[in-house]
Amino acid sequence: MATTIKISPVTRIEGHLDVSLTVDAVHGVNQVVDARCTGPMFRGFEKILLGRDPRDATHYTQRICGVCPVSHAMASTMTLEAAFNVAPTDNGRIVRNLILGANYIQSHILHFYHLAAPDYIDTTGILDMSPWTPRFVTPDMARGSLAAALVGHYVQALAMRRTAHQMGALFAGKMPGPFSLVPGGTSKAVDGITINNFRNLLTQLRGFIDGTFVPDAQLLFQTFVPYQRIGKGYGNLLAYGVFNQDTAGSARLLASGRYTNGQLQTVDPNQIREYVAYSWYSSASGLNPANGATQPQFGKANAYSFIKAPRYQNTVHEVGPLARMWVNGDYRYGISVMDRIVARAFETKKIADAMDGWLNQLQPGGPAYNPDTTPASATGIGLTEAPRGALGHWIKIANSKIAGYQIITPTAWNASPRDDRGQPGAIEKALMGTPVADLNQPIEVLRVIHSFDPCLACSVHMVRPGRNAQRITMTA
Ligand code: NFE
């Protein structure tokens, strides 16, 4: 008999995600036969930005999320550069890459040790305390030396994340919420002392990535063999590319590309549409974000999320480290829970190693930014990558003010609801077919969801409610 499970909220993610599942026996095995992902809070940054100075976008959009503010700063800065018709200086481009790289390292370590690993280890007798309890304890969890090692590394990883923040702040002013990304480059001048200090911290982080993070991810991969097949989903992957290697942005450390129906192909932003048939919006469905709209309508019939449904040529795509590594040929083993986890670790190494080389390319005393002026009217697109995947900002400027701003975040791609054709989103599809051994402890479901590293604050761009805000309680 079919059973309905609602996980509300899913914990060890950023923001608020509700997942409703139908579990039924198929060939004698209980498994997920239907899944719905709900982003239950409206944020509306697109509306907050209207009428403001275009340069404010960099600072406002960073407040979407404390985990990936640098990516929003980068996307908005690139959007403004396109609208202002200015390119960054070499120093500006490299400094921005270094700040973004510091944020990727911090975010990927956070995901593995603090968000995902607790799904796989039973710490009973090792640490019987918060944050390890209360929790699911299932027979397949690792115990003994692997559990003890990951608990130890969990604590070490907290210090490594602080180190990554310190490193980024050397060029960013502070982390999170950097000040120094500006159209045309960076407001931080480059000097030899900062380069040396950055390299010292990067060397510590590279030691942890090479000696601890990558081996731990590989060990998890080898230990949880069934999860090399669970959670595949559609198998379509999309990346805009990130870490520009030249000022034109034509060469990137992780290039743009997509893997659609088994074929590697290029990405054309004109083919992106956002659908809202199942989202709480009254605005038109199927718009390209260059002409997008964000008009909330909570309670709309059939809708179940504040996340829109972004699609590329009507096709659902997964985004994230696995997508980036796959389209670049760095990782092609498979598409599954474990592949997402190990590709994220391998990507961290790739970026950290490249960062050491970027430090050598900086020119102390060289120009930090190219000057620009705000045009009366213009449009711009900034396509980059956040740690969780493809991130795009679109701007329309009229009378030198923001007349339109649209954001599609990685988690909107991954945690979207159905689109107008009824196609489930990437996580919804990945959940379908997932076996559930114990209906009271659906750990398998959490492992699939966590492998995407979702961030709901990003995907619905929420504002903190004021004193007079209404609390709305929803039931599925
Ligand atoms: Ni809030 Fe974010 C990343 C962005 S996820 S963490 O990475 O953009 O949608």
For residue 193, the domain's CATH number is: 1.10.645.10
CA of 123 to the centre of ligand 1 (A): 30
- Position 249 scores a pLDDT of 80
pLDDT at 367 over 50: yes
CA–CA separation, 62 and 74 (whole Å): 9
Does 26 map to a domain? no
φ, ψ (nearest 5 deg) of residue 381? -130, 135
- Position 460 scores a pLDDT of 59
Does 467 map to a domain? no
For residue 76, what are the domain limits? 42-433
The CB density around residue 106, as the number of other CB atoms within 10 Å, is 28
- Average pLDDT of span 320-324: 98
pLDDT band at 470, cuts 50/70/90?
Answer: very low
Q: Give the CA count within 13 Å in the CB-facing half-sphere of 60.
A: 23
What DSSP character marks residue 315?
Answer: B
Measured from the Cα of 387, ligand 1's closest atom is 7
* C-beta 411 within 6 A of ligand 1: yes
Please give the tally of structural domains in the chain: 1
pLDDT band at 397, cuts 50/70/90?
Answer: very high
3-state SS assignment for residue 163: helix
CA–CA separation, 253 and 351 (whole Å): 8
Ligand 1 pocket test, candidate residues 393, 416, 458, 459, most atoms within 8 A of CB = 458
CA–CA separation, 176 and 65 (whole Å): 9
Does 128 map to a domain? yes
* C-beta 410 within 6 A of ligand 1: yes
- Position 44 scores a pLDDT of 86
Least confident residue range of 32-46, 352-366, 399-413, 416-430: 32-46
pLDDT band at 458, cuts 50/70/90?
Answer: confident
Ligand 1 pocket test, candidate residues 43, 72, 238, 409, most atoms within 8 A of CB = 409
Does 21 map to a domain? no
Exposure class string for 38-63: b at 16+ Cβ within 10 A, else e: bbbbbbebbbbbeeeebbebbbbbbb
CA of 235 to the centre of ligand 1 (A): 21
- Position 273 scores a pLDDT of 98
146: amino acid identity, one letter: L
Does 214 map to a domain? yes
pLDDT at 442 over 90: yes
Query: Are the C-beta atoms of 19 and 37 separated by less than 8 Å?
Result: yes
3-state SS assignment for residue 245: coil
CA–CA separation, 281 and 294 (whole Å): 7
pLDDT band at 431, cuts 50/70/90?
Answer: very high
Least confident residue range of 131-140, 298-307, 380-389: 131-140
220-236: per-residue pLDDT in tens? 999 999 999 999 999 99
Nearest-5° Cα angle at 213, 210 to 218: 95
pLDDT at 214 over 50: yes
pLDDT band at 13, cuts 50/70/90?
Answer: confident
Does 141 map to a domain? yes
Ligand 1 pocket test, candidate residues 71, 318, 344, most atoms within 8 A of CB = 71
CA–CA separation, 313 and 386 (whole Å): 22
- Position 197 scores a pLDDT of 98
Query: Are the C-beta atoms of 396 and 403 separated by less than 8 Å?
Result: yes
**257-260 and 263-265: which strand pairing?**
antiparallel
- Position 466 scores a pLDDT of 44
325: amino acid identity, one letter: M
Q: At what angle do helices 192-208 and 90-109 cross, to 10 degrees?
A: 30
- Average pLDDT of span 324-342: 98
pLDDT band at 467, cuts 50/70/90?
Answer: very low
pLDDT at 474 over 50: no
CA–CA separation, 50 and 302 (whole Å): 29
* C-beta 65 within 6 A of ligand 1: yes
CA–CA separation, 338 and 347 (whole Å): 14
- Position 43 scores a pLDDT of 81
What average pLDDT is seen over the chain? Answer: 94
* C-beta 67 within 6 A of ligand 1: yes
- Name which of 360, 359, 356 is nearest 210 in CA terms: 356
3-state SS assignment for residue 210: helix
Ligand 1 pocket test, candidate residues 100, 388, 406, 453, most atoms within 8 A of CB = 388
CA of 376 to the centre of ligand 1 (A): 31
Does 29 map to a domain? no
* C-beta 461 within 6 A of ligand 1: no
Does 463 map to a domain? no
CA of 187 to the centre of ligand 1 (A): 24
* C-beta 69 within 6 A of ligand 1: no
